A and B are shown apart, each in its own frame.
Chain A
Amino acid sequence: NAGVTQTPKFQVLKTGQSMTLQCAQDMNHNSMYWYRQDPGMGLRLIYYSASEGTTDKGEVPNGYNVSRLNKREFSLRLESAAPSQTSVYFCASTMEEWVHEQYFGPGTRLTVT
């Protein structure tokens, strides 16, 4: 089992460019999450998907969109990147939305100049 995988590992964007971060899990989990991690701050939830076909905003959704493509895949899109979106992005999954143990991917390091 690969667990949770994320692509790309690194990305540099110019302000105003768009990109999509990809996430896939092979654990047959129903719920998936996107977080950002910034120095001195805990992981902050951007969006989550409790189950296939549903998505909901988290704590910091502005400037992002998500798509739950199928049960395995959950993508995060930045339509017009801003320097404030420079961060490390983590995808995570849980068996069900009420389950608290999360499994994380390796992260995508994004720099917006």
Chain B
Amino acid sequence: QKEVEQDPGPLSVPEGAIVSLNCTYSNSAFQYFMWYRQYSRKGPELLMYTYSSGNKEDGRFTAQVDKSSKYISLFIRDSQPSDSATYLCAMSPNTGGFKTIFGAGTRLFVKA
């Protein structure tokens, strides 16, 4: 069993829809939770970063962490065709970035 599980999709939604992307994990030591966006043939770019449990909002994006369920989510409101990309969840314990574990990514297509 992988430490981090992420549905690969693809997930196809119409423009303007609310998108929900999720990851589950098994290691209770994870404290830092990140979401990266990766456009086709590009490097990942950091989208959201949260520490421990709770919600964080940045514009149309909201990240949620539920440590009791070992479940994290990324919500995208008013989705746009430019949001079409692969979204990688990532998480790490307190010991440092070199311990970061990445999910395999969910491919998202937003249709105009």
Contacts and interface: CB of A to CB of B under 8 A. Distances in A.
Given A43-B44, A100-B49, A48 B98 contact: yes
A9 to B, nearest CB: 9
Contacts, number: 69
Interface stretch (B61-69, B71-79, B102-110): B102-110
Given A33-B98, A42-B105, A100 B42 contact: no
A58 interface: yes
Contacts of B36: 104
A43 B41 CA distance: 14
Contacts of B17: none
A42 B42 contact: no
Contacts of A31: 97-98
Given A56-B98, A100-B32, A43 B88 contact: yes
Question: Number of contact residues on A: which range applies?
Answer: 20 to 34
B97 to A, nearest CB: 5
A58 B92 CA distance: 14
Residue of B34, B42, B96 with most partner-chain A CB within 10 A = B96
A25 B88 CA distance: 22
Interface in B48-98: 49, 88, 90, 92, 95-98
B19 interface: no
A90 interface: yes
A41 B8 CA distance: 10
27 contacts: A4-B43, A31-B98, A40-B104, A41-B104, A42-B6, A42-B90, A42-B101, A42-B103, A42-B104, A43-B88, A43-B90, A50-B96, A50-B98, A90-B43, A94-B97, A97-B96, A97-B97, A97-B98, A98-B96, A99-B96, A100-B32, A100-B49, A100-B97, A101-B34, A101-B46, A102-B97, A109-B41
